[in-house]
Structure 1
Amino acid sequence: MLRDDDTLYAALLARDPSYEGFAYVGVKTTGIFCRLTCPARKPKRTNVVFFSCRDAAQDAGFRPCMRCKPLDLKRPTSDAFETLREKIQVEPERKWSAADLKNLGYDPSTVRRAFQREYGMTFARYARSQRLGVAVSRLQQGGSVMDAQLDAGYESGSGFREAITKLVGDAPARTTGRQILTARWIDTPIGAMLAIADNTGVHLLEFVDRTALPTEIMRLRNRVGSICFGNNPMLERLAEQVERYFSGHSACFDVPVVQRGSAFTTMVWEALRQIPPGSTRSYGELARLIGRPEASRAVARANGANEVAIIVPCHRVIGADGSLTGYGGKLWRKQWLLEHERRIAATLSKQ
Structure 2
Amino acid sequence: MPGQKLSVVVTRRLPEVVETRMSELFDVELREADTKMDKAELVAAMTRADVLVPCVTDQIDAGMLGQAGNRLKLIANYGAGVDHIDVSTARQRGILVSNTPGVMTDDTADMTIALMLAVTRRIPEGLSVMQEGRWTGWAPTAYMGSRIGGKRLGILGMGRIGQAVARRAAAFGMQVHYHNRRRLHEDIETALEATYWESLDQMLARVDVLSINCPHTPSTFHLMNARRLKLMKPGAVIVNTSRGEVIDENALTRMLRTGDLGGAGLDVFERGHEVNPRLRELENVVLLPHMGSATLEGRVEMGEKVLINIKTFDDGHRPPDLVVPSML
TM-score of the aligned structures, taking structure 2 as reference length: 0.29
Bigger RCO (CA 8 Å, 6+ sep) = 2
Whichever structure has more helix as a proportion of its residues is 1
TM-score of the aligned structures, taking structure 1 as reference length: 0.27
